[in-house]
């Protein structure tokens, strides 16, 4: 603690394998990644999510399922819903 009980607390976590995280953790991480990308004038793709979680190209369906779970939770949306699935990019629901 410092003067006037004002301080900043940072908690760091080691990288956890995809299979050891909960669905809620993965959805929250996907949402936060979309938020981070959006404030940097970008959107996230399936490939970005795979890279974030350390998934191989063969595990594309895991990333797709996670993206769909995050959409179903109302946290992200497609930039252009009419785009072919392979080219879709996602932003936070509030954008």
pLDDT above 60 (res 62): yes
- pLDDT, one tens digit per residue, over 32-57 is 999 999 999 999 999 999 999 999 99
C-beta of residue 56 within 8 angstroms of C-beta of residue 65 = no
1 pLDDT higher than 60: no
Helix segments in 1-95, DSSP class H: 23-39, 46-53, 60-72
Domains of the chain are 22-92 (1.10.10.10)
pLDDT above 90 coverage of the chain, percent:
79
* Position 2 pLDDT exceeds 80: no
């Amino acid at each position: 603690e410092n003067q006037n009980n004002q301080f900043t607390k940072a908690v760091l976590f080691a990288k956890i394998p995809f299979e050891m995280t909960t669905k809620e953790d993965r959805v929250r991480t996907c949402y936060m990644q979309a938020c981070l990308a959006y404030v940097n004038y970008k959107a996230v793709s399936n490939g970005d999510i795979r890279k974030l979680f350390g998934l191989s190209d063969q595990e594309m369906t895991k990333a797709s399922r996670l993206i769909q779970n995050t959409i179903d939770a109302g946290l992200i949306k497609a930039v252009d819903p009419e785009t072919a699935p392979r080219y879709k990019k996602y932003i936070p629901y509030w954008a």
